[in-house]
A and B are shown apart, each in its own frame.
Chain A
């Protein structure tokens, strides 16, 4: 049973560029949530996708956008990258939108220079 997968593992981008991160949920899960984790902090909620729509959003600017595909996989896009966007980006999947256990993928380490 495959767990949550994410790609790429690491990424280095320059300020102003755009980036796309990808996530495949755990088998049987239909809901994907994205989190940003800065060094020394807990993960911060970016948004959640269910049935191919953004259902909930945290306190992140519109530069952060996403998509969910019919097979439940998801993408996170960040435009106009800032140095402060450097972080570990985590995808978590769950079997629904409710207070279910969320399982995290290995994360994508984004460095903006």
Chain B
């Protein structure tokens, strides 16, 4: 069974620091990767997508992909208390034509 693994956390960082969230996946042929943010009691919100090896930056967010190591990460610069949420890593399963999600990493940004 294809898996997406994330550390459940909580990951606690001080305000203004860089938060680093990591994700590994088991399906070597995966090509499309997504990060979602989910506030408590709310639905997932898409924040980043990445398809090629390397870095992709969008504002304070940087997604990093290393297909050889089957590793995806999300960096949040200048972390704010409003960034406190659960971050879900999702990998596109070509066979099922669906997203496979990790269980999420809970981030806490301390003021």
Binding site for B on A (CB under 8 A): 33, 35, 40-45, 48, 55-56, 58, 88, 90, 92, 97-99, 101-107
Q: How many A-B residue pairs have CB under 8 A?
A: 57
Does B71 belong to the interface (CB within 8 Å)? no
Does B73 belong to the interface (CB within 8 Å)? no
Cα distance, A107 to B96, chains bound together (Å):
22
Contact code string B91-106 (vs A, CB < 8 Å = 1, else 0):
0101011111111100
Does B34 belong to the interface (CB within 8 Å)? yes
The one of A41, A45, A90 in contact with B98, judged by C-beta atoms closer than 8 angstroms, is: A45
Cα distance, A58 to B4, chains bound together (Å):
16
Q: A43-B99, A101-B49 are in contact. Are A106 and B43 (CB under 8 A)?
A: yes
Contact B45 A104 (CB under 8 A): yes
Cα distance, A104 to B39, chains bound together (Å):
13
A44: chain B residues within 8 A (beta carbon)? 101
Question: Distance in Å from the Cβ of A105 to the closest Cβ of chain B?
Answer: 6
Interface members, chain B 24-67 (any A CB < 8 Å): 31-32, 34, 36, 42-46, 49, 51
